[in-house]
Amino acid sequence: NAGVTQTPKFQVLKTGQSMTLQCAQDMNHEYMSWYRQDPGMGLRLIHYSVGAGITDQGEVPNGYNVSRSTTEDFPLRLLSAAPSQTSVYFCASRFDTLMNTEAFFGQGTRLTVV
């Protein structure tokens, strides 16, 4: 059971480049989300999805797009990378939102924008 898998683990981008961070889970979880971790800021929610075909914005959505075409996958797209998007990104999944359950996290993607 792989849990939540994120790729790549590390990435360096030039300002203005675009890329997609991949996230997949094999636990049949309905709820998936993307967070970024910055020093002193904790984990901040970027976008989330309560099921296939449904996405919504979190606390810091600007500069990012998401889609959820299947239950398993929840990719995060950076449209035009900026140095302010240098961060560690975590994908998480949770069984559902009606029951109180924990979220499971991937290993993270460390992104540097130069």
Partner 1 sequence: DQQVKQNSPSLSVQEGRISILNCDYTNSMFDYFLWYKKYPAEGPTFLISISSIKDKNEDGRFTVFLNKSAKHLSLHIVPSQPGDSAVYFCAASARGGTSYGKLTFGQGTILTVHP
The residues binding partner 1 (CB under 8 A) are 4, 6, 31, 33, 35, 40-45, 48, 50, 58, 90, 92, 94, 97-98, 100, 102-108
DSSP collapsed to 3 states, 29-46: CCEEEEEEEECCCEEEEE
Tell me whether residue 12 or residue 79 sits nearer to partner 1 (CB atom).
12
10 CB contacts (<8 Å, ≥6 apart)?
A: 109, 110, 111
Rounded to the nearest whole angstrom, what is the least distance from the CB of residue 59 to partner 1 in the complex? 8
- Measured from the CB of residue 76, what is the shortest distance to partner 1 in angstroms? 15
Among residues 2 and 14, whose Cβ is nearest to partner 1? 2
Residue 25 phi, psi (nearest 5): -130, 145
Report the nearest approach of partner 1 to the CB of residue 105 (Å).
4
Residue 52 amino acid letter: A
The least CB distance from residue 62 to partner 1, in Å, is: 17
**Residue 7 token pair:** 């790729």
The helix/strand/coil state of 85 is helix
- The smaller minimum CB distance to partner 1, of residues 59 and 83, is found at 59
The SS3 assignment for 60 reads coil
User: Nearer Cβ to partner 1, position 6 or 85?
Assistant: 6
